Structure 1
Amino acid sequence: MADRVEAGGRGETRIADRVVAKIAAQAAREALDAAPDGGPSGVPDGAAPPHATVTVQRGSARVRISLELGYPCDIGGACGAVRRQVSQRVKALAGMEVPEVAVQVERLHAFEARTAQGRERVL
């Protein structure tokens, strides 16, 4: 029987920062699409999808999410939901701890975004 190499000596799995960023951005979308208390989604039509940047070091990922929200909405509640979802999904899918999720709200879109002239009103 051939000598067996211990599991730790066979290699390692590396997940690129951009892959973790895609997981984080999708998790942010999921959090924003979940309507709290049956209310409207936190993302209005025409809003840019969330964007994530990630720094991975020693098995942990620090995440920065940029997103747009509908107005009026519970901004703090939406950001908290994004933080929780991103942390959970990155840990579950990439196996990384997420000690920090910074959420930056880039723009607020009025839910009644169409004016009489048909232009979009951005706050």
Structure 2
Amino acid sequence: MAAEPAPDPVRGRGATTIADRVVAKIAAQAAGEALEAVPEGGSRPHASVVVHRDVARVSVSLELDYPSDVGRRCGAVRSRVRARVEELVGMEVHEVTVHVERLHSPLTRQATRRDRLS
């Protein structure tokens, strides 16, 4: 006589729901990790996320130093955000859009310092 299969302990425990704002926070943190440093006088990256059936679409806004290899740095952000969201949340990431909001050059940093001192 065949033995009955053991009940699956995971089945019946319920579901886990992760809020979009939590996924966005993870994405923003991952973008910061990819950049390694915020430009002097700049803001940390921020993200917004749309999740549908465990598939995330992420939009990241950030600021970069000028001059820099913008394409390479944005590519690093996309890769890091995708990997960290998939690893930590278990969602597929179909799209990571990167918006560069501002470039910080030595000239803008000097102007910002002058404005603060005035």
TM-score exceeds 0.5: yes
Moved over 6 A (4+): none
The one of 24, 27, 31 aligned to 2:27: 24
Give the TM-score normalised by the residue count of structure 1.
0.80
Ranges in structure 2 where 5+ consecutive residues have no aligned partner = 1-6
The one of 92, 102, 110 aligned to 1:114: 110
Matched position secondary structure for 1:82: helix
Distance 1:97 1:111 in 2: 39
Distance 1:106 1:59 in 2: 28
1:85 CA displacement: 0.3
Distance 2:20 2:40 in 1: 29
Matched position secondary structure for 1:13: coil
Report the counterpart of residue 37 of structure 1 in structure 2.
Answer: none
The one of 14, 18, 26 aligned to 2:17: 14
1:44 CA displacement: 1.3
Write the mapping of 1:1-123 to structure 2, written as runs, cut at 5 A. 7-33=10-36, 41=37, 43-111=38-106, 113-115=109-111, 118-119=114-115
Contact 1:66 1:105 in 2 (8 A): yes
Bigger Rg, which one: 2
Q: Deviations over 1:45-82 (max 9, x none)?
A: 11011110001111111000011111000000110000
Report the counterpart of residue 4 of structure 2 in structure 1.
Answer: none
Distance 2:81 2:94 in 1: 11
Contact 1:44 1:111 in 2 (8 A): no
Aligned length: 108
Matched position secondary structure for 1:118: helix
Greater helix percent: which structure?
A: 2
